[in-house]
A = this chain, B = another copy of it.
Amino acid sequence: MKGPPIILTTDFGQVDEYVGVLKGVILSINPAATLVDLSHAIPPQDIGRAAELIFRNYRYFPHGSLHLCIVDPGVGTKRRIIVVSADGHLFLGPDNGVFSPLLRAYEQAKVYELTNRDWFLERISTTFHGRDIMAPAAAHLSLGAPIAEAGPLVAINSCVRIPPAEPLVRESEIAGKISSIDRFGNLITTIENHHLDALSHKSCLTVSINATEVQFHQVSYAELPDHLPAAIINSSNLLEICVKNDDAATVLGARIGDTVLVKCG
């Protein structure tokens, strides 16, 4: 183990060789690097999903970790590659909005454009900057190279932002969406626990999805009633719709993007 761990998030999947090649390039520069996969199953080119995933989970990794995010539909164009220092972690990826939630949360974040060719592979393809530019740069940073050597400091306001997937919050109702569906078929929504505070009556909430009403519970999965879809606050403080020991997505015929409404009483 040499230097902080490098955490990889990509839309490469695990069928092709792309993730393995990233790791080969990193180990060629820092043979003792610690490499961890956060997810390689980001839907192709889905910057928003990657942004959410990284923002909600980076804090579970060691202070000083380097989060490498390669979801890069603009690969080979003039889009910048940036290194962000925020909340004691480093983030490296294309300047395409993938770090938006982070930049929104940490206005004091420092952002550098990655331009130091000494850190790149010699030959740079037009279609795989993860391999040729980002992975080797991550390796150099993990060896302790100062972030300021990555390239020039850039104004945080110049970075590409994508709009947050915020729910519409009113006193009587919150309208959010399903942002992802996990392996268990749980429906994760864009509605955070703190959004519920805006409702005038927080007791006895009803949640509806695709014309089905589900009850809100503040219990664990196992304590939910059998077979009935239910809404809970999950381990990321998000409203989640689930069915005890079953697949809520199938039971409810739900899909990513479907509207979820929360109402009082």
Chain A residues engaging chain B, CB cutoff 8 angstroms: 1-2, 5, 7, 11-21, 23-25, 27-28, 31-32, 34-41, 44-45, 53, 56-57, 60-63, 65, 73-77, 79, 125-128, 131-132, 180, 182-184, 219-223, 232, 234-235, 240, 245, 247
Contact = CB atoms under 8 A, between A and B. Distances in A.
Nearest to A232: B127
Contacts of A16: 39, 41, 180, 182-183
Given A60-B21, A126-B220, A32 B131 contact: no
Given A17-B57, A28-B61, A222-B77, A125 B39 contact: no
Contacts of A45: 245
A38 B57 contact: no
Contact of A61 (B12, B24, B127): B24
A76 B41 contact: no
A125 B127 CA distance: 41
A40 B37 CA distance: 13
Contacts of A77: 220, 222-223
Given A31-B1, A37-B20, A126-B219, A183 B12 contact: yes
Given A73-B245, A76-B219, A131 B60 contact: yes
Contacts of A12: 183
A29 to B, nearest CB: 9
A23 B204 CA distance: 37
